Amino acid sequence: MIVGAGFAGYRAARTLARAARGRADITLLNPTDYFLYVPLLPQVAAGILEPRRVTVSLSGTLREVRPVLGEAADIDLDARTVHYTNPEGDRGTLDYDRLVLAAGSVNKLLPVPGVAEHAHGFRGLPEALYLRDHLTRQVELAASGADAAERTARCTFVVVGAGYTGTEVAAQGQLLTDALVRAHPLRQGMRPRWLLLDVASRVLPELDERLSRTADRVLRERGVEVRTGTSVKEATREGVLLTDGEFVGTRTLAWCVGVRPDPLAEGLGLPMERGRLLVEPTLQVPGRPEVFACGDAAAVPDLERPGEYTPMTAQHAWRQGKVAGRNVAASLVEGGGAAGLRPYRHKDLGFVVDLGGVQAAANPLGVHLSGPAAGAVTRGYHLAAMPGNRVRVAADWLLDAVLPRQEVQLGLVRSWSVPLDTASPELARAPGDIARERSASGPGAATAADVHGTDGADGPSTHGSKPSTDGPSTDGSNPTTDGSTTHGSTTHGTTTHVTTTHVTTTDDRNEANDMKDGNEVNEANDAKKAAGGSGEHHPSPEDGSQSITSPTPEVGQHSGGGSGARVGQSSPEEGSQSIDSPTPEVGRHSTGPARKPSGRDGAGNEPDSGDDSAEGDR
């Protein structure tokens, strides 16, 4: 039984299946039916790659593995069972002889006022699709707006965290918004403004200074404002207050605050190391030889640096998954014991950072490259590292080079369905989906350890940055794990954390359908009923937010508006859809119990705030 199909889990399943050759029953438990190649998510958000290009089918590539859709709820080590919940809310139980825990990580929330309400994560496809739509929408709304200050705010984009993810998103996003403005007929006076913030003294603080200088130069030449030693002190609906006292009006906040290990391991009652399960160099849990752990969930001793643990990075998770698969196979051999198990060792062979277009920074085998040469190496590395879809990805790159990007927003993912505090970023939240509700003190929230710098998962939180990622290597590991410092200020000052993953954008606070609140729509529906309409709603599992009687079938509906609001669906694929929606072309927003932790309204606002590892790191 393998829990999690990120870089560690997927590699473990593939390695074990090849070693077992049909002589073992291998089950892979994962919330989605695909492995997500996280490093290319920024290109999905920028419209370069189609979403399915970065997903690899589990059943299509792991022929001898039985994939099970679901999220692990708890594990009984004595009974050797895993209890899980499937996407439709049904519970199940799976037995195992060997367990590989590769559950990954969840978003970390720092005690910065307004972040939970006005920021989103960037660790799954829903969040990447949301960001793409959000950037497009802000440019369109700015072009049609009459107020100069609002137009400026909508064209201002703030990225917090200059690690791998923050740097790549700022680079790709800046190119996207410039293209959107050039193509818009009402672009007069519009000039996108991008800010990249980090409390560290330079961008990519965890990498070689030459790579850092290359990235800094490329960004500044494009007009990105790189501000080091600066972070966000408070986020509001109208903008962000920086730690240097400046207030920046914006509708978009990209928040790269790192990750913490999935809380699933905390309930096992086993020795932990700053939120990660302590394991031996062979990836076995001490005292539980049938249990292996790898990726972000495991604190693996770094044999190259005695006394330390390997950081939560995708490249480590990818390699650890291979070792875990081999060791599980060895443990199943008759007479197999500790003598047949291999310890985990690693050697870094280089780094690559995609800066958009033909620009990149790379140092394969220690050779420093920049410009088109680095861009070619970076894309070649990604094609070699991906376990599938190589031809499709290469085709999308070719088309992007010769054709303009499609400048449309689909509205498939709404702001409330990708909250920052979700424990399942790979799944879009459905209205009323209690199974994935998390309060502000939940698994992604900051703890005293975060504030005082004792969270080992992401490094010390002092006044500097700690390298938390070794970057890509040419042996097939994943290159994009963020090791940048995270940001935010507490009441005692600015707190620095080492990040390992993605971007966040602000929620859609000014979407077109937010013009109506629930009361206005309900009054309209009451009037319809008085005029002869039944007002009844007959839901079906697949009806989504579509309405047969809708006068505007191309727009989705807010869940707080319209008589067909379905608050209480438990199936994520139903999401924000309603059969009687007057605007099915836009996903329905939730105004009631759909957002228990913080009570987002239809506009995406919250009145109160209450990494292989691949799942979480870049």
Partners of 159 in the beta sheet? 196, 254
Around Cβ 202, how many Cβ atoms within 10 Å? 17
Q: What are phi and psi of 10, to 5 degrees?
A: -65, -45
For the chain, the farthest-separated pair of C-alpha atoms sits apart, in whole angstroms, at 80
Burial of residue 538 (CB within 10 Å: 0-12, 13-18, 19+) is exposed
In sequence order, the 6+-apart residues with CB closer than 8 A to the CB of 104 are: 4, 6, 8, 9, 261, 262, 295, 296, 297, 611, 613, 614, 615, 616
**Structure tokens that stand for 518 in this block:** 């629930």
Q: Is 50 a catalytic site residue?
A: no
CA distance linking residue 461 with residue 360, whole number of Å: 29
CA distance linking residue 311 with residue 295, whole number of Å: 9
CA distance linking residue 548 with residue 551, whole number of Å: 9
Cβ atoms 570, 594 nearer than 8 A: no
The residue annotated as part of the active site, out of 168, 206, 426, 437, is 168
Q: What are phi and psi of 9, to 5 degrees?
A: -65, -45
Q: What are phi and psi of 239, to 5 degrees?
A: 165, -160
Q: Report the candidate in 366, 347, 377, 423 with the shortest Cα–Cα distance to residue 616.
A: 423
Place of tokens 């410009």: 371
CA atoms within 13 A on the CB side of 525: 22
**Structure tokens that stand for 487 in this block:** 């940001």
Cα pseudo-dihedral 67, 70, 73, 79, rounded to 10: -30
**Structure tokens that stand for 426 in this block:** 């790979």
CA distances to 63, 138, 228, 545 from 318, rounded to whole Å, are 19, 37, 31, 38
CA atoms within 13 A on the CB side of 345: 5
CA distance linking residue 72 with residue 212, whole number of Å: 39
Active-site positions read 168
